[in-house]
Amino acid sequence: MTATSSPLLAIEDLFVRYGRIAALSGVRLHVDEGEVVSIVGPNGAGKSSLLGAIAGLVQPAGGSITFAGEPITPRGLERTVRRGIALVPEGRHVFGGLSVLENLTLGATVRSDHNQVKAEIARFFDIFPILGERRNEAAGRLSGGEQQMLVIARALLAKPRLLMLDEPSLGLAPKVTDRVYELLAEIRAQGVTILVVEQNAPRALKAADRTYVLNGGRVRLAGASAALAADPDFEAAYFGLRTEAAR
């Protein structure tokens, strides 16, 4: 679904290196406003490095990233959030010693409409009653699934145009993963664009409009998710057996 004439996020020939190791080599992709786009690939494919570059946490060695028509430079996560990009990192990263409520409040530090923030936090407590019940308890005492809901809600309190999630189903039971992806569908329906990184390819293909297969720091295959799910080259691309560039 495309709401604008140009992509909300556009990446051209992106290179990321850690010393002599190339994490990304000439990656190209785009995300249109209103879309859900997934990036799938095995461990070490470069998926987290890609999100880190978009979030401004990783210095690219080459290429360009533009968001809403403006170039992104690595100036830290807070500035990225102010641009309208929120990242839910792999491993959830709650502030375990702070309460659930304090964790949520931190997500809105870039905002000045405090009364609206309070109303939105109350809405999240309605959506996730367990978070409301445990609002004054340490976030570190929540289950993995509850922590995932908390960090997604915390990211949304920044009012992003683009929500990025790094392995949101990692370590979660299937029923909890179902709820996470139901929530993403609800978020998309509210007009938030979503970029999700997953090892769980079937789940990502089912949820996304389009998918990029990343392996060895390169895009090996790309297209409409429904088409890729039936593509005989998909498995080879995922496991690094396909060497040509994405179609």
Instruction: Give mean pLDDT, residues 14-39.
Output: 96
- Check pLDDT > 50 for residue 225: yes
Q: What is the pLDDT of residues 135-179, one digit of tens each?
A: 999 999 999 888 988 999 999 999 999 999 999 888 888 888 888
pTM above 0.85, yes or no: yes
One-letter amino acid of 15: F
CA torsion angle 139 141 146 150 (round to 10): 0
Which percentage of the chain shows pLDDT scores above 90? 64
- Check pLDDT > 90 for residue 102: yes
Which domains does the chain carry?
9-238 (3.40.50.300)
Element (H, E) at 25: strand 21-31
Do 202 and 238 touch, CB atoms closer than 8 A? no
Q: CA dist 117 to 19, 24, 83, 84, Å? A: 42, 37, 18, 16
Cα 106 to Cα 112: distance, rounded to the nearest angstrom = 12
Q: What is the pLDDT of residues 79-95, one digit of tens each?
A: 888 889 999 988 768 89
pLDDT value, residue 145: 86
Instruction: Give mean pLDDT, residues 198-202.
Output: 89
- Check pLDDT > 90 for residue 73: no
- Check pLDDT > 90 for residue 208: yes
Sheet strand arrangement including 70-71: 21-31, 9-18, 62-67, 70-71
Instruction: Give mean pLDDT, residues 93-104.
Output: 93
pLDDT value, residue 74: 65
What contacts 230, CB < 8 A, 6 or more positions away? none
pLDDT value, residue 51: 95
> What residue has token string 């409009």?
209
pLDDT value, residue 241: 61
How many Cα atoms sit within 13 Å of 97 on the Cβ side? 0
Instruction: Give mean pLDDT, residues 199-216.
Output: 93
Tokens of 140: 């570190």
Which percentage of the chain shows pLDDT scores above 70? 94
28 three-class SS: strand
Cα diameter, the chain: 53
Rg of the chain on CA atoms, in Å: 18
> Who wins on pLDDT, 225 or 245?
225
CA torsion angle 180 148 9 6 (round to 10): 30
Sheet strand arrangement including 210-215: 85-88, 162-166, 193-198, 36-40, 210-215, 218-224
Do 2 and 224 touch, CB atoms closer than 8 A? no
Instruction: Give mean pLDDT, residues 45-51.
Output: 94
Q: CA dist 54 to 8, 51, 129, 186, Å? A: 12, 5, 33, 24
- Check pLDDT > 80 for residue 242: no
Q: What is the pLDDT of residues 188-197, one digit of tens each?
A: 999 999 999 9
Cα 54 to Cα 9: distance, rounded to the nearest angstrom = 9
Cα 104 to Cα 121: distance, rounded to the nearest angstrom = 7
pLDDT value, residue 200: 87
- Check pLDDT > 80 for residue 3: no
